Amino acid sequence: MKITVLLTGALLCTALISTNAYAQGTVRGAEEGAAAGGNAAGPLGAIVGGAIGAAAGTVDGVLGLEDRPRFREYAIRERHPSYQYRENLRVGVVLPQDGVTYYEVPTEFHPRPGYRYTYVNGHPVLVERRTGRIVEILD
């Protein structure tokens, strides 16, 4: 009975987070939380870890809350060329590895490992290095 209630609560939290707070960092946080929870406690741990990770990813993202505004100003000051993406620009879009110029995020902004930035349609965006997926749009 307790597991059913816990499972229902975790699923409800996941649904609310994904619909009401699909913010930058949420998806990555959910993925990392689900993986850690699954390793620690199996399928139920993955569900709970995914919900908690999504919430944490929404709050923190790739850059800390204090570093995000400073990095946005830095990125705009750099004035790098912008890649023209013809579709709707949103978090989750996978950019091509060729034709897009990617830049390292300076360590002074305390980035999480595995991310870099570029410009798409005039907007600075943070991109996952391994996949080219946009994880944050810095507007």
Domain spans, the chain: 2-60, 67-137
pLDDT at 94: 96
The answer to which of 7-11, 44-48, 80-84 has the lowest mean pLDDT is 7-11
What 3-state class would DSSP assign to 115?
strand
Euclidean distance between CA atoms 26 and 22, whole angstroms? 6
The percent of residues above 70 in pLDDT, for the chain, comes to: 61
**Residue 3, pLDDT score:** 64
CATH number of 67-137: 3.10.450
Predicted TM-score (pTM) of this structure: 0.58
Strand-strand pairing, 115-120 and 123-128: antiparallel
Question: Percent of the chain, pLDDT > 90?
Answer: 42
Residues 73-80: what's their mean pLDDT? 91
Bridge partners for 136 per DSSP: 126
Is the Cβ–Cβ distance between 105 and 115 less than 8 Å? yes
| Residue 22: band (very low, low, confident or very high) from pLDDT cuts 50, 70, 90 | very low
Residue where the block lists tokens 């809350």: 65
